[in-house]
Every structure is written in C-alpha cells, then in structure tokens.
Homo-oligomer: A and B are copies of this chain.
Amino acid sequence: MKNTLCGFSLLPSKNLAERMLNDPQKENLYPLDSRRRIRELGIRIGTLEPGPYNAITDVEGVRVGHTTIIKGEDRGAVRTGVTVILPHCGNIYEQNLFASYFNLNGWGEMTGMAAVEETGKLKTPIFLTGTYNVGIVYSAVINYLSKINPNIGNAAQTVNPVVAECFDDFLSDTQSRQISEKDVLMAIEKAKSGTVVEGAVGGGTGMTSFGFKGGIGTSSRKVSDKYIVGVLVMANTGSRDQLRIDGVPIGKEIRGFKYKYGKTRSIILVAATDAPLLPYQLKKISKRMAIGLAQTGAISHTGSGDILLTFSTANKIPLNKPASFQNIKAINDFWITPLYQAAVEATHEAVINALTAARTTVGRDNNTAFGIPLDQVKKIMKKYLRIGEKNYE
C-alpha cells in the first residue's frame, strides 16, 4: 500500500485537501478553510481503518487529477470540469486491469461499459464529467490514447474510453459546453497519488447532492493490513430529507440553507482495490458500493444514473501475447466478505465527504447550492450519540 511509484506523493493532509486548491469562486458563504472531511469532524463511519490518505489513491498506483472550470456568471455561468482516475502507473492500454460494473439505476452514461463487460478489463483511464461534456471528453481520450499508443489500430484492436457523467445544469450553463480537449489533457497531467482534492472540483464542480453542494468525494478502507479498497464518487444524487450519516437522519434535522434546486440526479461510483479479484468478483464489489450508497439514504430515484465500476490493480494483463497467462491471482470467494465491508464503508464515507468538503457554490442564473453546514452536522451527530458517546464498539 505504499504510494511512491507514480511521482511526487504528498503527505497525508491533516485537514481538508481542498485547502490546497487555488481556484477562486465568486462567493464563499462557506469559505475554503471551513470545509472538512467527515472524519475531521470526529465522525467515524464503520469499523475498518482507512488507508493513509483515506482516498482511492491509497491503492498503489492509482492517481486522480482534476480540471475545474469556473467561468462567467449569471446566464452563461460555467461550473463544470473533468476528473480523471489513472488506474495504475503504467500504460493502462497496454497493461489492462480486471474490472466489472453494476448499474444500480442505469439512467445515465458510462461509455466503454460493453467492452468492460466483454473483456472483463479496464483499458483506459476513467473520466468523470458533466453530461454535455461526454462527447468532447470521449474524443480527447481517443486522441490521447492514440498518441501514446501508436499501435492502436495496427494491433487490430481499438479502444473504448470510459467516460461517465452526471448532469450539472443547476449550476452550469450546459449548453455552452466550455470544456476543451486541453482541459482533459490537463486533468491527466495533473493526476497524482496522495491527497485527493474533494468537493466542488473537477467533474464535481457543478454537482449537487442531497439538497446541498455535492461533487467529488473519496475514502478508503484497509482489510487485514493486506489489501485496500478505495472509492471515489461524483455525487449528484439524493434529496435532502433522505440524507443519513451513519444512520442518523441528518437531512431531516438540518435547518435552513434551503434553496430551489432541480431534482438532483445521478452518482458515479468507482472503486479500486489491490486485492486480486477476477471480473465476476469485481462485480460483487460494485454491488457493495450500492449498499454503501443505500446507507446514506439514497434510494436511487427515477432519472438517477447510478453506475458503479470497480477495478483491481493486482493482475496486470498485457494487451497482447502471450497466448495464455499462468499466474493470475484471485481471492477465494469465502474470504471476500471483508472486502465487501470495506467497499460499503468507503462508499458511505466518500459520499458524505463529497458533501462536507464542497463549498457553497453560486452558478448559472445565480443558482446557489449551499455547502452542508458542518456545525449543524456535528451537533446533530452528537445529539444522536455518534460523537463522543459512540460506546457500542
């Protein structure tokens, strides 16, 4: 679980990763310094320990990069971006990873899924963005992969990029689509291991979730000091009254900070693990992210595109030759339950982190999504015996 292979690795942040971000925003009702990860509020979800960064990047080789696009105000305001997950340090097109997805509610898009299911493998980085950016990102990825893999095509095979979306139209003027190929490349270039910036960044810039500002969240869990499961979400789903943190009905208890928002919509969930899992086992992990999501109160309402993808870094499968492989590793099914628990807990926490890390954001037509008020969260969690008095463990 050391995380040194892929370039410079930041020390674990003591505070919120977003503090390191310099993108200015118009208004900061909840300014940068006040945002926290849920664990920084003294709230622990589940019983397993997180990895050093409590992030998907705790899985060795996994890197995350964001391009955050904040332009204009009023009618033409753009609050969008792209987040990329690089699954390992090498060339993912040449060294594939086993992967499998699950559509909890497939009312959305994650391109490349037919190929993931067919080949049992991930062959491209994973991109998260706004709905209307999918085509542009898709083209950029094809360009990028063709450049670094001149043999694409010669090798009698092509590539189907993985690009997933949520709809960020409440805050962003989706029609303008001011994202470019350069933005996509920049996200790739900036991808790094270590701390992951969360909240209103990258693909999550314009997302809202559970009636508050949402976006990118991440978390991880260690299993028997041997394996790690990391989850990263782009959260744009759930209504306020549904929100639960560790079972506490936070959404119903919070006062104020209401705003008129269109129905929130979708959530993309990506899990990475260094545990050696075969595709049929990775599908099970994907399903457990659905269980973790359910624990946050989301019921996957109609119109929500809740697509869940998991990959394992343990077996690197070369794209071509040899004709057969001899040393594939896999967990025995009867030992897999702790990985399920890890996926459930990390998902639960990643979804909550997307909320607690996201600042209040003003976007298109002055639409405003408030960051969830952390003081209230803390108070309510205390009232429901989840801080200080958690005596059941």
Chain A residues 328-348 with CB under 8 Å of chain B are 328-337, 340-341, 344
Q: How many angstroms from the CA of A109 to the CA of B111 in the assembled complex?
A: 7
| Residue A131 is within 8 A (CB to CB) of chain B in the complex | yes
| Residue A113 is within 8 A (CB to CB) of chain B in the complex | yes
| Residue A42 is within 8 A (CB to CB) of chain B in the complex | no
Q: Which residues of B contact A344 (CB under 8 A)?
A: 299
- Residues B334 and A302 in contact, CB atoms below 8 Å apart: yes
- Residues A332 and B324 in contact, CB atoms below 8 Å apart: yes
Q: How many angstroms from the CA of A167 to the CA of B302 in the assembled complex?
A: 35
Q: How many angstroms from the CA of A331 to the CA of B299 in the assembled complex?
A: 18
| Residue A307 is within 8 A (CB to CB) of chain B in the complex | yes
- Residues B142 and A139 in contact, CB atoms below 8 Å apart: no
| Residue A288 is within 8 A (CB to CB) of chain B in the complex | yes
- Residues B249 and A392 in contact, CB atoms below 8 Å apart: yes
- Residues B142 and A135 in contact, CB atoms below 8 Å apart: yes
A46 to chain B, nearest CB (A): 10
- Residues B246 and A333 in contact, CB atoms below 8 Å apart: no
Please tell me which stretch of A69-77, A212-220, A276-284 contacts chain B, meaning at least 4 of its Cβ atoms lie within 8 angstroms of it. A276-284
| Residue A258 is within 8 A (CB to CB) of chain B in the complex | no
| Residue A30 is within 8 A (CB to CB) of chain B in the complex | no
What is the total number of residues of chain A having a CB less than 8 Å from a CB of chain B? 100
Q: Which residues of B contact A324 (CB under 8 A)?
A: 276, 329-332, 335
- Chain A 140-171 against B: per-residue CB contact (8 Å), 1 yes, 0 no? 11100010000001101110100000010100
| Residue A114 is within 8 A (CB to CB) of chain B in the complex | yes
Q: Which residues of B contact A34 (CB under 8 A)?
A: none
Given contacts A252-B393, A322-B332, 12 further A-B contacts (CB under 8 A): A135-B142, A139-B139, A246-B247, A253-B392, A278-B328, A288-B299, A294-B294, A295-B295, A300-B340, A302-B337, A324-B335, A327-B328
25 A-B pairs, CB-CB below 8 angstroms? A103-B114, A105-B287, A106-B118, A107-B118, A109-B114, A111-B134, A131-B158, A134-B138, A134-B139, A134-B142, A135-B138, A153-B174, A157-B334, A158-B265, A278-B280, A279-B279, A288-B299, A290-B290, A290-B294, A291-B299, A299-B340, A300-B340, A302-B333, A323-B332, A325-B332
A residues contacting B by CB (< 8 A) are: 103-115, 117-120, 131-132, 134-142, 146, 153-154, 156-158, 160, 167, 169, 174-175, 177, 244, 246-249, 252-253, 262-263, 265, 276, 278-281, 284, 287-288, 290-292, 294-295, 298-303, 305, 307, 317-337, 340-341, 344, 383-385, 392-393
Question: Closest 7 CB pairs between A and B?
Answer: A247-B247, A135-B139, A135-B138, A106-B114, A294-B294, A252-B392, A106-B118
